[in-house]
Structure 1
Amino acid sequence: DVLARKPGRKQSKKSRIERIQQRTTPFMLKGEAEVVKGRSIVLVDDVYTTGATIRQAATVLQAHGAARVRSMTIAR
């Protein structure tokens, strides 16, 4: 539980094009970067649509020093 969503429209309310073209991440790190620095992290998402959610979350984690970020999705 290290990521928080920034205020704004949820990904599920956006079109496929809006998700893919989104330039800023809807996520921010909660607390200190030391929580993720040097760690391997697995992100779990319920539904894979465009992959934007996973990519954006991974970008934030990597920017704060995560050594490795992998993902697992329940349904596609």
Structure 2
Amino acid sequence: MDIAARVDTSGAYCPVPILEIAKVMRRLPAGALVELISTDRGLEADLPAWCEATGHELVRLERRGTSYVGWVRKAG
């Protein structure tokens, strides 16, 4: 995957991961892919809900040990 930006919010809790990815998304062109890394288990529910609300595409969300990694493609 060609990642346009990587957002690492490890150690931060809701709502920080969503606020940070939203901030990055505003600066990117449509179709850009963003990787979000978080240790907040709430991301499993929050990221899909945020994508649904904003129209961005949740490409993938997976757990890696104590971290969660999500890839989101900006709507356009």
Q: Which TM-score band (shorter chain)?
A: 0.3 to 0.5
TM-score scaled by length of structure 2: 0.37
Larger-gyration structure (1/2): 1
